[in-house]
Amino acid sequence: MTADLFWILLIAIVASLFWQQRRQSELAKNYIVRRCQQTNVQLISIARGSHSFGRPKGPLDIQTRYYFEFSVNGLDCYQGYAVMKGMRIKEIYMPAYPVLEE
């Protein structure tokens, strides 16, 4: 009986962490897409990088780094990253790239 309760609790915790990670991934994608639209570049791909559990001066949060590739003119490719802490964007980095004049 106690073992069953333990397994149910473990499955619930793992499912909760999975759901939180999926939600964080969707929010990160929205932030990255919006930033690419604001800077007038073409988004090529998004990938989840490393993530860690941390608690520096606050609640337990998952901090995840998302890498993305973008292009200015369709021929070149640049790589940036976004850092999510919990459900908030902490940082978005895009390297220097040439700006096309219209």
Number of structural domains found in the chain = 1
The whole-angstrom separation of Cα 48 and Cα 18 is 14
Q: Is 92 left (phi over 0), alpha (psi -120 to 50) or beta?
A: beta
Q: Are 95 and 35 in contact (CB under 8 A)?
A: no
36: domain range? 1-93
Residue 54 covered by a domain: yes
3-class SS at 78?
strand
Per-residue pLDDT at 37: 94
* pLDDT per residue as tens digits for the range 43-95: 999 999 988 876 666 667 778 999 999 999 888 999 999 999 888 999 999 99
Residue 98 covered by a domain: no
* pLDDT per residue as tens digits for the range 61-71: 778 999 999 99
Residue 26 covered by a domain: yes
Per-residue pLDDT at 57: 67
Residue 38 covered by a domain: yes
Per-residue pLDDT at 56: 61
Residue 101 covered by a domain: no
Per-residue pLDDT at 21: 86
* pLDDT per residue as tens digits for the range 4-24: 899 999 999 989 888 888 999
**Alpha carbon of residue 102 to chain centroid:** 31
CATH number at residue 22: 3.10.450
Residue 102 covered by a domain: no
